[in-house]
Amino acid sequence: QSALTQPASVSGSPGQSITISCTGTSSDVGSYNLVSWYQQHPGKAPKLMIFEVNKRPSGVSNRFFGSKSGNTASLTISGLQAEDEADYYCCSYAGSYTFDVFGGGTKLTVL
């Protein structure tokens, strides 16, 4: 059982927006603005898409937007494109004993 809870799957049509939630606790997501999101295509290594809740690495499209409210972080992808179809994982810092905890992952299907 993953420390952070994500929906198993979400879907959307090209051009639409979707949001993936990532629910933790007051010990991880709720305590630190240290949530990151990763995109993983089949057979590939994860790619950092969002760090520190809402910051994008250089080269990541501004269609990807991160946010947080309380113990839940969210990743919103606007203007869905076929290439966005992938698995998405959230990760939160959880303090100096547990350190990094991942969500179980969400499979995004672009219809």
Partner 1 sequence: QVQLQESGPGLVKPSETLSLTCTVSGGSISSFYWSWIRQPAGKGLEWIGRLYTSGNSDYNPSLKSRVTMSGDTSKNQFSLRLSSVTAADTAVYYCARDRKEAAGYGLDVWGQGTTVTVS
Amino acid letter, residue 92: S
Q: Which of residues 26-45 bind partner 1 (CB under 8 A)?
A: 32, 34, 36, 38, 45
Binding mask 91-110 for partner 1 (x = CB under 8 A): xxx--xxxxxxxxxx-----
The beta strand positions in the chain, using DSSP E, are 9-12, 18-23, 35-40, 47-50, 64-69, 72-77, 86-93, 100-102, 106-110
Please report how close the Cβ of residue 46 comes to partner 1 at its closest, in angstroms.
6
75 makes contact with partner 1 (CB under 8 A): no
Among 9, 11, 15, 57, binds partner 1 (CB under 8 A): 57
How many angstroms separate the CA atoms of 39 and 87, rounded?
A: 6
